[in-house]
Structure 1
Amino acid sequence: MKTNINYFKDLESFISQINNLNTEYLLLVATNTLIEIEKINTLNITGAIFPEIIYENKLYDSGLIAIEIKNNMKVHFYDDISKTYDFYKTFNSTKSIITLLDGISIYNESFLQNLFCNVNINTNIIGGGAGTINGKNKKVIFNNKGFYNNSAILLSLETSINIGVKHGWEYLTGPFVVTSSEKNILKQLDYKSAFNTYKNIIEKDCGIVLTKNNFQEISQNYPIGIVKYMGEQIVRDPISYENGNLVLVGEISNNSIINILKGDKQKLLDSAKEATTQALKEDCESIIIFECISRKEFLKDKFDEELNNIFSLLHNQKGIGAVTIGEVANSGNRYINFFNKTCVVGGICF
């Protein structure tokens, strides 16, 4: 059963096209789009705001993508992901789940782990973190009643999703053992200050002294890779430092083994094509793409080339997606992960 998926330049354009007030929609909204709850409070709508959205092979920092919800789909809204939910009753026979959640919430990984542990072993999960580049405390998940933080939307499907996950970041140095961490705060590597260890390595490689003013600009070129057995390293973005600690996007566990990574733009471009090829290994009518905002910032003008590479591999499939604050993916019985700086692509029949 095909569903209707369309781009609209603003909320008013979308509302003017609604023929049936009872029809349910999921919205992917670009950051420069005004969403007024009083205009949708009589409609059956949920949505999430992202730095940018992807429709076909173009990026939009304004407008929205509307996904019409059909009988083989169901939207589940969770207004507080710090709670523990009984996912088993809801999702034990679900084939796939698209997950949109508050990208900066400290509860993301516990929420995802609880979800993963309570779905069928063959359920595939894909998604991304909502958020805005400069809106640290902004509420970015919404329904027709209001905006929320520490919240999530799960779209369950009766069809499977083929998932491709690749990042393309390369080994610079390591390994190191995480000897002290707390949630997303990396405190010690090999019993030494995590920031001082990271700082010395980066300054030696790039020849630039790290400061508060240039940290984000420099660190986007040097992510941290959490080593996983028989799989992609899980990339973590260092976004700031305080008291000798590194602040990351996403949690990192004590006793993790990590490497410091470095980027080559061509390797990242190639990895996006590999992820797309993985997602297209079986027939699908659409693809959904979740690309990290810090990956886009690293690629700069090459990001359009990355999108073009992805869409060049399609055969009449529609492509939608979002630039995200972290990416979500699992594959069958492999453990779920919250990624940074990664290209996640899903081949899907809505």
Structure 2
Amino acid sequence: MRAEFDPTGTVAGLVEAVRRLHVDPTVHAALVFAADGNNLPTEAMHAAITASPLPLLGGIFPAVAYRSKSHERGTLVVGLDQLPDYGVVGNLSATNTAFERSISAFTDDWPDKPRDTTYLVVVDGLAARISDLIEALFFSLGLEQNFIGGGAGSLSFRQSPCIITPEGLHEDGALVARLAVRSAIGVSHGWHPISRAMTVTESEGNRVRTIDWQPAAELYAREVFAHGGQQIDADNFFSIAKSYPLGIARYGAEVVVRDPLMMNEAGEIVCVGEVPAGCPIRLLNGDVDTLLSAAGNARREAITTRPQEAIDTALMFDCISRVLFLGDELGRELYAVGAGTPIHGAFTLGEIANSGRDYLDFLNKSIVYAILD
């Protein structure tokens, strides 16, 4: 796969990157990973996407990666040798959206499955029912093929159109695309439990109301103070909470990490993705070394399925809160996951992955490394 990068983050830069790919007769569509820092008017972006000579699929993310560097401004465009089958699930936050029905509305019309298949899923990372969608994808599409992707959106935590399809920009929705490529995937996070076991006793979507029947924000603040001595409140919540995610226990597998975004006036914790009532949780913590080790683990997990083959194209979906946590050490993580091979991809609001044999999950604070060929 051939990649082009526009560092200007302008509409003209996107158009030019697409033009450079379009002159290649082997390129028939493209993935687009645009940085939210481009701050482009929705109307202008929508017009450029719909007028593109190549069908475009992707999203607008907090930041993007190109050649193992993070860019808060710029647009990565990755050429594909054929147009993927794709569809959009709308109303991702609505309680009455029947996801399996929405998925079958477009997958029923897809042609027979290619021999090599990888599903790309890009969701509005601030939607309230992402985990419900992921569960519906599992029931609709199974686990025979790999899934990769992540949450698009802005660190302003305000929803806006962030999903890209040939029809333009979409808000509060999800792109599901079937790529005719083989893939090998590794996933890891590097966060470890530091609290007692607790139970989510009340929640709604991505809002945790009570933990052990106590107001979630109050209990969370006490646990954070007990571990690190930091007083957390609504004003400094995200800057401290990025070091203290929630971990949802899973039988026989790594915990699923949930990223707390804010505490609201009702004393709830708002997370990236759902935290179901009744699930056991613990507070997690990590440091630079554990996160760097996890990045290397993700790469090793992927290459164990194809150790004798050269890596032609690799995509990474890395949680933006890892970027904020690592700060100046981010370059070391990108080197750890790439091992000298240039890394392209997106820094996301949550990650989506499985390896064709494990759980399909919506993850937080994790890194997904996918080798495509």
Decide: shared fold, TM above 0.5. yes
**Deviation sequence 1:268-298 (CA, Å, 0-9, x none):** 1111110111112213422110111111111
CA RMSD of aligned residues (A): 2.3
Quote the Cα distance in structure 2 between the aligned partners of 1:155 and 1:147: 15
Contact 2:143 2:360 in 1 (8 A): no
Contact 1:25 1:67 in 2 (8 A): yes
Distance 1:203 1:135, change over 3 A: closer
From 345, 351, 354, the equivalent of 1:330 is 354
SS at match of 2:235: coil
- The code of the aligned residue for 2:173 comes to S
From 11, 14, 18, the equivalent of 1:11 is 14
SS at match of 2:371: strand
Distance 1:11 1:267, change over 3 A: same
Quote the Cα distance in structure 1 between the aligned partners of 2:128 and 2:59: 18
Matched, 1:310 2:310: no
Alignment map for 1:51-200 (pairs within 5 Å): 51-71=62-82, 74-78=84-88, 80-82=90-92, 83=97, 84-86=102-104, 89=108, 90=110, 93=113, 95-134=117-156, 136-200=158-222
**Deviation sequence 1:11-39 (CA, Å, 0-9, x none):** 24314423389942221112233353333
Using the size of structure 2 for normalisation, the TM-score is 0.85
Number of positions where the alignment pairs a residue of Structure 1 with one of Structure 2? 343
Shift in Å at residue 250 of structure 1?
0.6
Quote the Cα distance in structure 2 between the aligned partners of 1:91 and 1:345: 28
Using the size of structure 1 for normalisation, the TM-score is 0.90
Unaligned runs of 5+ in 1: none
From 294, 314, 326, the equivalent of 1:271 is 294
- Could you say which residue in structure 1 is the equivalent of 2:312? 285
Alignment map for 1:213-252 (pairs within 5 Å): 213-242=235-264, 243-252=266-275
**Deviation sequence 1:165-214 (CA, Å, 0-9, x none):** 11101110121111211111112222222222211111122222222211
Quote the Cα distance in structure 2 between the aligned partners of 1:75 and 1:101: 17
Shift in Å at residue 112 of structure 1?
1.8
Q: Which of 35-44 and 265-274 deviates more?
A: 35-44
Shift in Å at residue 4 of structure 1?
2.5
Distance 1:285 1:260, change over 3 A: same
**Deviation sequence 1:295-339 (CA, Å, 0-9, x none):** 11111111111112222254xxx5321000100012224331111
Shift in Å at residue 75 of structure 1?
4.3
Which structure carries more strand by proportion? 1
- Could you say which residue in structure 2 is the equivalent of 1:211? 233
Contact 2:119 2:176 in 1 (8 A): yes
Distance 1:74 1:225, change over 3 A: same
Contact 2:4 2:17 in 1 (8 A): no
Distance 1:62 1:75, change over 3 A: farther
- The code of the aligned residue for 1:321 comes to G
Identity %: 27
Shift in Å at residue 157 of structure 1?
2.5
Distance 1:246 1:92, change over 3 A: farther
Contact 1:107 1:150 in 2 (8 A): no
Quote the Cα distance in structure 2 between the aligned partners of 1:251 and 1:96: 25
**Deviation sequence 1:30-58 (CA, Å, 0-9, x none):** 22333533334332323311111112211
Shift in Å at residue 151 of structure 1?
2.0
**Deviation sequence 1:64-113 (CA, Å, 0-9, x none):** 22222323x51413151544321663498463212112111113222221
SS at match of 1:344: strand
- Could you say which residue in structure 1 is the equivalent of 2:10? none
Contact 2:49 2:168 in 1 (8 A): no
- Could you say which residue in structure 2 is the equivalent of 1:260? 283
Quote the Cα distance in structure 1 between the aligned partners of 2:3 and 2:329: 27
From 22, 40, 51, the equivalent of 1:42 is 51
